[in-house]
Chains A and B, each alone.
Chain A
Amino acid sequence: MTDFSVIGKPRGRVDGPAKVTGQAQFADDLHLPGMLFAKLLRSPVPHGRIKALDTSRAEALSGVVAVLTGKDLPEKYGILPVSQDEEALCTEKVRYVGDPIAAVAAVDEDTAERATELIALELEELPSYMTIEEALEKEGEPIETLRFGPNVHKAVSLEFGDVESAFAKADHTREDLFFYEGSTHLPMEQHAAVARWEPEGKVTLWSSTQTPHYVHRALAKVLGLPMNRIRVIATPVGGGFGGKSDPFNHEIVVAKLAIVTGKPVKLTLTREEVFYAHRGRHPTLMWVKTGVRKDGAITAMHFRSFLDGGAYGSYGVVSTYYTGALQTTTYKIPAYKFEGTRVYTNKPPCGPKRGHGTPQPRFAIEVHFEHLARELGMDPIDFRLKNLVEPFTYTANWLRITSCGLRECVEKVLEASGFRDKRGKLPEGRGVGFGLSAYMSGASLPVYWNDMPHSEVQLKVDRSGTVALFSGAIDIGQGSDQVLAATTAEVLGLEPEDIHLITADTDLTPIDLGSYSSRVTFMAGNAAIQAAERLRDQIAEAMAAKLDVPTDRVAFRNGRVMDAQRPEGGVSWEEACAVAEAAQGNLMSRGAYKPPELSGPYKGSGVGPSPAYSYSACVAEVTADPESGVVEVDKVWIAHDVGRSLNPTLVHGQVEGSVYMGLGEVLLEEQVFRHGLHKIPSMLEYKSPTTKDMPPIETILVETVDPEGPFGAKECGQGPLLPVIPAVANAVEDAIGARFHEIPITPEKVLSAMDKAARGEEPLIGPTSLPDYHLGEVLRVDPPDGKKVELFPMHEET
């Protein structure tokens, strides 16, 4: 089935018209009769003990309806079952400036805010830990003590193969240190949630969330209600990028306030508060050592990461593993050791931001390999080509690689950019750089252990012929609505606009685990195709009888159903549905997707496996001004293996958006603190690229048609961010000779590198040491040498 009518065609999205007319209803657009407004009292100190809390003056204020403190919501929660360390409102301790302590519901926002100011709060300030080094080395009462020692949230040590003897076989080794500064998602939409107590004894929550199912679970736990007394509806998300993937304190608080007051309650974060909600990129300190033979073949790699996790666990255990898991999905590394440590600090919690834990090591490795190859006397590109992973192989850490267009991506991006004619040959101040990457099309395990599908879709046809599609997936701008509508329409011979979507409502829609880990196209897309195929087969059976032809000759095209051998005949879709309903009763179908079992035989092997990996290669051309220190990106070329491009308009949009976000991270964006306070919690001071900063981007799509993907598709929303960062760093080195082992590459850092060069020192900017922390025993795992790759295609025709 390669003669598609919808798939592969550039077109707008089904939710486009609602979004360009202002009719898309975001969470803060909801206004319910009698609605109250809530505000949070937040901690003014980074680390402290609550000594006294008196809400009586706030409660007495006219217009205040309810006040909550931690005593009302004592149950802890967190996105991962292993890290249940958050409180909706702090009970004993506060762990960052902005940690919520009390909540007020009042007749309007002004009154609610005024009431929070009337709450008497007495705090005993504790020593604060603002960096990785302070968390590991500073004396004093720790933020938290788990089994890994004070302030250490997670420590992991894994070794695949005999790394020591593999290093012994190397002709050359090199070590480098890197630091990747934290950054935040900065979604244009401030988080908002509305809750309503229903007369039948249920609470409904509307929220701007990427993960309504996980919010549903957390609400049940903290509110002490069974899940069937809670309904979660995800509103269209006005930008997520990972930042709306956790259950949040404000969601729990509005639900509780709705229960307590019996009235609808809304809570919308201010922009400053969005910086406190955070869950952004972990600041990460890294050390990497690689051994190579004279011919350039890698023999071993040892990678260490230290993640600055902020005040709570969030996805941090997973983030820690991700800083080590995907190194092997781009290059053949026969022996590999990874040690990761995540610490608690007194800052807003870090979590998953686009690329989740993988942009940091990708930056480190792609810059490290430039130095390593040149020391070896090899062209850095040739060095990479020598070591690229091959399709349909296993990595040393048991990751199954299926379709892989990495080599084609590298070749195409080099050719389009003229890289080989430019590298080292452009005038002083101008340069080109290269980087490549891989990313997952969905995690193969859910956030909590269960044996059920990850995505389910139901279809139902009514007497108008309208196909209603029910899915738990939520569109966060990535185009999940369009993927669901387009895949279904393709199978049924309809247009995407013919599919009516009902999404992300726990009372109405079947499960989708959420819009995270680039999983929706692959998983919900596969579920939609299965549901559509089953619906098509029901109608084909009834139509076969009517047309008196075999079932497999019934074709669905252009809104008509006909004998494939007599395409001019046949009936309209509506008539075919009537025939089928008359023969079989109500027309409905279901589809489900569950990833194959892909985990390796070791603890921790659940992070990294994915049913398919996307691949990207990037070239950036820059101009760096050694006088002002300003780096400008002149052009970006990026090639991306998307499996199959379901809709080039949307795929280009995702790739361009990823490049944009990568450029922000490498040159501008930083979530930084001073004396425990966020230094720049505003959109003006947190510098993100504007229309005037964006260079042209040339996007090249590579289609490898993945054997398990929906119509062969893989992800495109996160992977293309990764190679941009090292490509720019490498381009700056080509331009002015300065080496950046630390991002963002700000003008101050460029000038500091220039000063070093002028003093005759190596113009290297980056960390110089690792903290003094040693992990426990290493878990040794034999690589799956010679294991045959098994495939589990879901649909015969794709």
Chain B
Amino acid sequence: MAKRGLGKGRVKGESQDIWLRLMVNGRRCDVVAPVQKTLLEVLREDLGLTGTKHGCELGECGTCGILVNDLFVLSCLTLPVDIQGKEVTTVEGLAHNGKLHPLQQAFSELGAAQCGYCTPGFLMAAKALLDTDPSPTREAIQDGLSGNLCRCTGYLKIFEAVELAADRMGAERRKAATAPQVAP
């Protein structure tokens, strides 16, 4: 990854390594890393979770977005020390038991991923949106995803994919609510 000005003027050896205890995609991860290393770098370089991408490393494009305690945050602006003990979810943690999350399924079916580089960030922003607003209007989707840039799609297929996923998740919830209760 391409850091910009990080470590400028800092002589190697000055940085202090610290022990980080992180919860990532439901797993405890222990990492020893320089204190100034961003969460984006720790995820990609120390934990090998390269599904999270970067487009600017300045907090401008949304590409590196992940969830921390279900909130959408930019991992390039987050220091791991600040989120110890919190739940981190990356694109690798979206699918369950090999089954794609409805958002992933819809993005794939509708061509909402073209080059696919911004896709993980959009998926995480969309997940955060649907967690708080399970059936968002088109305008709410545009608002909810406005921190993420995409250069391929013109966004429309992304909006449609979020709507399709929301519909399917809503149908699943209704099915679950009306299903007969099974005694434990």
- A interface residue numbers (CB < 8 A to B): 11-13, 15-26, 28-29, 31, 62-63, 109-111, 113-114, 117, 185-190, 192, 236-241, 268-273, 475-479, 649-650, 652-653, 656-661, 682-684, 688, 690-692, 694, 696-697
Contacts and interface: CB of A to CB of B under 8 A. Distances in A.
A694 B160 CA distance: 13
A19 B1 CA distance: 19
B157 A653 contact: yes
B58 A113 contact: no
B30 to A, nearest CB: 20
Contacts of A652: 111, 157
B75 interface: no
Contacts of A240: 115
A28 B110 contact: no
B57 A270 contact: yes
B150 A188 contact: yes
Interface stretch (B16-24, B46-54, B80-88, B171-179): B46-54
Contact of B116 (A185, A477, A690): A477
Contacts of A696: 156
A186 B118 CA distance: 12
B155 A19 contact: no
Given A188-B63, A239-B152, A271-B56, A28 B1 contact: yes
Given A21-B100, A683-B149, A684-B60, A649 B110 contact: yes
B155 A691 contact: yes
Given A22-B50, A114-B9, A187-B151, 7 more contacts: A109-B6, A192-B2, A475-B115, A656-B156, A691-B143, A691-B158, A692-B143
B135 interface: no
Interface in B87-106: 90-92, 94-95, 100, 103-105
B61 interface: yes
B116 A190 contact: no
Q: Interface on chain B toward A: helix, strand, loop, or mixed SS?
A: loop
B155 to A, nearest CB: 5
B57 A271 contact: yes
A239 B58 contact: no
Of B44, B155, B157, most A-chain CB atoms within 10 Å: B155
Contacts of B65: none
A653 B105 CA distance: 17
Contacts of B123: 20
B109 to A, nearest CB: 4
Interface of B: 1-12, 44-45, 48-58, 60-61, 63, 90-92, 94-95, 100, 103-105, 107-111, 113-120, 123, 141-143, 145-146, 148-159
A113 B11 CA distance: 11
A238 B3 contact: no
B22 to A, nearest CB: 18
Contact of B146 (A11, A478, A692): A692
Contact of A653 (B108, B114, B116, B120): B114
A114 B151 contact: no
B107 A16 contact: yes
A270 B155 contact: no
B166 to A, nearest CB: 16
Closest 3 A/B residue pairs (Cβ): A22-B51, A477-B115, A19-B116
A277 to B, nearest CB: 12
A457 B72 CA distance: 43
A174 to B, nearest CB: 34
A270 to B, nearest CB: 4
Contact of B12 (A15, A62, A475): A62
B35 to A, nearest CB: 13
Contact of B92 (A22, A270, A692): A22
A185 B149 CA distance: 13
B63 to A, nearest CB: 6
B3 A109 contact: yes
B156 A12 contact: no
Contacts of A11: 109
A624 to B, nearest CB: 21
A19 B119 contact: yes
Given A21-B51, A190-B2, A241-B151, A12 B57 contact: no
Contact of B58 (A187, A475, A682): A682
Contacts of A63: 12
A26 B4 contact: no
Contacts of A239: 115, 117, 151-152
B154 A656 contact: yes
Nearest to B121: A188
10 contacts: A13-B113, A15-B116, A16-B108, A17-B108, A239-B117, A271-B2, A475-B115, A477-B152, A683-B61, A694-B142
Contact of B51 (A23, A190, A660): A23
Contact of A21 (B1, B92, B142): B92
Nearest to A26: B117
Nearest to A238: B117
Of B48, B145, B153, most A-chain CB atoms within 10 Å: B153
Of B44, B50, B92, B156, most A-chain CB atoms within 10 Å: B156
